[in-house]
């Protein structure tokens, strides 16, 4: 492809005129372009700026200050009496031009103006017999502007060409561009190189890619299912995975990554919830157990338990003291007060058959109604019955005072009584 080089002009004084020339160094025909920056920077003289400063503001109050999108500031102006001599602006269909020239005004800067003109572009399609071209930029002698040597750029585009810009006071600048080989130049054509019609061996695209000509240059397109730039000097064409397989892999990777990030958090959360639940249950059980124990102690005191202990402790020479049983022991002995174990019932309560842990067969009386005023009498009866020891009389083993309203008395059955119960 053709290459282009640009070069700024050397430092020096400004100039009013500039001559552009270029020379072709090949026998083949192609198009070369030489331009001295389509946007030119012109400088205004110091005398002009000082003189323009004396224009009173009252003289330009009613003057247009804008043409199109360009702000017009003095010493420039539009219309009679609105500009300093030599700085007239012609506004033609909202496009500003410098007076007495075809230079389009782009911007007014302090001490400088930017203009545009097609006169600064030289463009030629060379033949085999003609290899030189030239263009000239010349400001009028009476112009108050000079061309900036330091802020304009010379550009040359083409193959095997050189360009020179010079001014009457011997300011010069040059540039050159070259093509790698003569084969890159199409004889008799001003078009871009047809890279895609080159022999297969020299094609810039890999065998799998399709070559497309563009202006300028070319494009290598990989076939469907492949990726890459398709160029031999690039990364060529590489086969893609099946789209749905790629999507599945991407989805799996996302899920795995999500699982890796979520699993520790989820496991920690479940563990914390489990520990909190376990501790809550333990605390609940401990509290209920403590409440139950407190309730049993309260019932024991209410049903004369303390009084019974005091009277039993005062007895001397007794064979045995009555045993105070828990509610749980009586439930186990009677199979939770099963109706199959009922021996009889009356107004004062129900009598159950029971078997204690040691295998003793006993009768257990469960009172229905307890009169709190008879607590003292009941305790005295228990103490008296504890001291009776006769083979034909049932013997009191103990009692339960932990129930809310019931008193439970245990009687050991004699031989005849056991036979009757069977």
Model pLDDT for residues 293-306, shown as the tens digit of each residue: 888 788 777 777 77
Q: Is the pLDDT of residue 209 over 60?
A: yes
Q: Quote the percentage of the chain above a pLDDT of 70.
A: 54
Distance of CA 96 to the CA centre of its chain: 52
Strand 323-324 vs strand 395-400: parallel, antiparallel, or unpaired?
parallel
Of 122-131, 158-167, 324-333, the least confident: 122-131
328 vs 143, which has greater pLDDT?
328
Assign 243 to helix, strand or coil. Answer: helix
127 vs 410, which has greater pLDDT?
410
Pairwise CA distance, residues 289 & 294, whole Å:
9
Across the range 58-77, mean pLDDT stands at: 83
> Which pLDDT band, with edges at 50, 70 and 90, does 278 fall under?
very high
Q: Tell me the pLDDT tens digit for each residue of 163-192.
A: 777 666 656 666 766 665 554 454 444 445
Q: Is the pLDDT of residue 343 over 80?
A: yes
H or E stretch covering 8: strand 3-8
> Which pLDDT band, with edges at 50, 70 and 90, does 246 fall under?
low
pLDDT score at 299: 78
Starting at the edge strand found earlier in the chain, the sheet holding 104-109 runs 89-92, 95-98, 104-109, 112-116, 39-44, 145-147
Across the range 73-99, mean pLDDT stands at: 88
Pairwise CA distance, residues 105 & 66, whole Å:
12
Pairwise CA distance, residues 317 & 319, whole Å:
6
Pairwise CA distance, residues 95 & 115, whole Å:
12
Across the range 322-331, mean pLDDT stands at: 83
pLDDT score at 312: 73
Of 140-154, 197-211, 255-269, 278-292, the least confident: 255-269
249 vs 359, which has greater pLDDT?
359
Pairwise CA distance, residues 220 & 236, whole Å:
9
Class of domain 308-421: alpha beta
Residue 205 DSSP one-character state: B
Environment class of 333 (CB within 10 Å of its CB; exposed 0-12, middle 13-18, buried 19+): buried
Across the range 271-284, mean pLDDT stands at: 90
Q: Is the pTM of this model over 0.75?
A: no
Task: State residue 106 phi and psi, 5-degree precision.
Answer: -100, -40
Inter-residue contact 401 to 303 (CB < 8 Å): yes
Ramachandran category for residue 80: left, alpha or beta (phi over 0 → left; psi -120 to 50 → alpha)? beta
CA angle 349, 352, 358 (to 5 degrees): 135
Mark the binding-site residues for ATP, compressed into ranges: 366
Structure tokens at 80: 């009679």
Ramachandran category for residue 237: left, alpha or beta (phi over 0 → left; psi -120 to 50 → alpha)? beta
* Mean pLDDT of the chain, nearest integer: 70
Pairwise CA distance, residues 36 & 123, whole Å:
12
Q: Is the pLDDT of residue 73 over 80?
A: yes
186 vs 83, which has greater pLDDT?
83
Report how far apart, in Å, the C-alpha atoms of 10 and of each of 16, 40, 165 are.
16, 16, 11
Mark the binding-site residues, compressed into ranges: 366
Q: Tell me the pLDDT tens digit for each residue of 6-60.
A: 334 444 445 555 555 555 554 343 445 444 444 556 666 544 444 444 455 555 6
H or E stretch covering 312: helix 305-314
pLDDT score at 282: 92
Instruction: Detail the DSSP E strand segments found in 12-131.
Output: 17-24, 31-35, 39-44, 66-67, 70-71, 89-92, 95-98, 104-109, 112-116, 121-125
Candidates 2.10.25, 3.30.300, 1.10.287, 2.40.10; CATH matching 192-240: 2.10.25
Assign 403 to helix, strand or coil. Answer: coil
């Amino acid at each position: 492809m053709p290459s282009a080089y640009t070069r700024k002009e050397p430092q020096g004084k400004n100039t009013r005129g500039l001559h552009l020339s270029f020379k072709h160094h090949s026998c083949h025909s192609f198009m070369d372009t030489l331009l001295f920056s389509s946007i030119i920077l012109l400088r205004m003289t110091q005398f002009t700026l000082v003189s323009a400063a004396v224009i009173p503001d009252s003289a330009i109050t009613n003057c247009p200050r804008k043409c199109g999108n360009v702000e017009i500031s003095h010493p420039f102006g539009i219309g009679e009496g609105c500009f300093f001599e030599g700085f007239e602006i012609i506004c033609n269909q909202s496009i500003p031009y410098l007076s007495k020239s075809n230079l389009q005004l782009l911007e007014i800067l302090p001490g400088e103006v930017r203009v545009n003109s097609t006169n600064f572009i030289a463009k030629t399609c060379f033949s085999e017999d003609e290899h030189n071209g030239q263009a000239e930029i010349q400001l009028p002698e009476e112009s108050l502007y000079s061309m900036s040597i330091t802020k304009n750029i010379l550009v040359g585009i083409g193959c095997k060409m050189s360009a020179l810009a010079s001014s009457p006071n011997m300011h010069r600048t040059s540039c050159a561009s070259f093509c790698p080989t003569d084969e890159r130049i199409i004889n008799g054509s001003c078009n871009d190189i047809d890279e895609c019609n080159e022999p297969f061996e020299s094609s810039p695209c890999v065998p799998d890619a399709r070559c497309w000509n563009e202006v300028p240059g070319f494009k290598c397109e990989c076939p469907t299912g492949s990726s890459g730039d398709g160029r031999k000097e690039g990364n060529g064409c590489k086969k893609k995975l099946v789209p749905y397989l790629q999507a599945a892999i991407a989805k799996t990777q996302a899920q795995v990554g999500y699982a890796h990030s979520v699993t520790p958090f989820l496991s920690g959360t479940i563990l914390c919830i489990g520990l909190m639940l376990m501790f809550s249950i333990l605390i609940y059980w401990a509290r209920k157990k403590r409440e139950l124990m407190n309730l049993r102690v309260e019932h024991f005191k209410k049903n004369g338990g303390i009084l019974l202990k005091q009277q039993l402790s005062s007895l001397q020479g007794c064979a045995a003291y009555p045993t105070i049983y828990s509610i749980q022991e009586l439930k186990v002995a009677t199979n939770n007060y099963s109706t199959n174990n009922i021996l009889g019932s009356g107004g004062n309560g129900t009598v159950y058959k029971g078997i204690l842990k040691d295998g003793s067969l006993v009768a257990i009386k469960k009172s229905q109604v307890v009169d709190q005023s008879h607590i003292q009498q009941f305790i005295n009866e228990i103490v008296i019955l504890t001291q009776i020891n006769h083979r034909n009389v049932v013997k009191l083993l103990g009692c339960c005072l932990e129930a809310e309203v019931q008193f439970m008395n245990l009687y050991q059955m004699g031989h005849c009584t056991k036979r009757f119960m069977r």
